[in-house]
Amino acid sequence: MKFGIYNHYWRLSEFLEDRKSHNIVASRDGHLYEIRRTPFGMISVPASENALRRLEEVPKGFQFELPLIPGEIMEQILTFFRKYCNPWVESEVMIQIFWHKTEHYYKAICPPQKVSKVHVDAEPMTGDGELVEVLQIHSHNTMDAYFSSTDNADEQRFLLYGVVGRLNETNPSILLRVGLNGYFYTLPIERVFTNFNKSKDNAYPIEWDNNIEYITFLGDEESLY
């Protein structure tokens, strides 16, 4: 592809086959290089602003292209999360939200998971031809809502992610973000959900509870109960 005097290549091997004089070549290191070739030799340097001026600016950010998720689903999730944050049990749990492509509705699913105070080991459900995964959200029981280093390492897919903390309070904290390959954008709740009441109990499917197993840690061992 050529813009002005510069030929643009995604692969160095393609450039080497063409042997043009003025070139911009993409590299595995994530940078663009200007490569000049003349009868006496070839040089490769980081592409200058002048060499890239014909390229269009790519905006950063995220555009949510589905309808807002009904707030009633978040009320169900918060009710579920609160059940596992009480004087007897404090566990992290997680929920997935899917969008049905043809029938146009959201579905919240609790995948099978082993849970403890500071950890949730889930077996996330995968989308099929009709269901597309949109969001994964987990709880921090009485702890603050924050994305841990473990979350940052695990949440590499292009997806919405959420965490809820302070579930022992009437106004729990909720954080949402969207990410891809370790890059994240924080999102306000109103960009993803319709209005909801954080303290309202809203019945959730009973099968969610059936997918929860507790883990207790005993030294280097763990046991289920």
- Tell me: the pLDDT tens digits for 173-209? 999 999 999 999 999 999 999 999 999 999 999 999 9
Hey, is 39 helix, strand or coil?
Answer: coil
Distance separating alpha carbons of residues 10 and 32, to the nearest angstrom: 9
For 221, the token pair is 């061992």
Mean pLDDT of 144-157: 92
Give the start-to-end residue ranges of the domains of the chain.
Answer: 2-46, 71-224
Query: Which band of pLDDT confidence, cut at 50, 70 and 90, is reported for residue 60?
Result: confident
The whole-number pLDDT of residue 54 equals 75
Longest dimension (CA), the chain: 79
Residue 128: CB partners within 8 Å, gap ≥ 6?
none
Distance separating alpha carbons of residues 96 and 98, to the nearest angstrom: 7
- The beta-strand segments (E) located in 65-158 are 94-100, 106-109, 113-115, 120-122, 131-139
Closest CA to 119 of 90, 145, 155: 90
Alpha-carbon separation of residue 28 from 32, 33, 73, 153 (angstroms): 9, 11, 42, 21
Query: Which band of pLDDT confidence, cut at 50, 70 and 90, is reported for residue 216?
Result: low
User: With respect to CATH, is domain 71-224 assigned 3.40.190.10?
Assistant: no
Mean pLDDT of all residues belonging to the chain: 88
33 within 8 A of 22, measured Cβ to Cβ: no
Tens digit of pLDDT for each residue in 88-146? Answer: 888 999 999 999 999 999 999 999 999 998 888 988 888 778 999 999 999 999 999 99
The whole-number pLDDT of residue 225 equals 39
The whole-number pLDDT of residue 3 equals 59
67 within 8 A of 56, measured Cβ to Cβ: no
- CA angle 153/136/206 to nearest 5° reads 135
The whole-number pLDDT of residue 25 equals 87
The whole-number pLDDT of residue 224 equals 43
pLDDT greater than 90 at residue 172? yes
Name the least confident of 80-89, 129-138, 215-224. 215-224
The whole-number pLDDT of residue 1 equals 63
Structure pTM? 0.81
Residue with tokens 């006496």: 40
Query: Which band of pLDDT confidence, cut at 50, 70 and 90, is reported for residue 159?
Result: very high
Closest CA to 94 of 176, 28, 162: 162
Tens digit of pLDDT for each residue in 37-55? Answer: 777 888 888 888 887 777 7
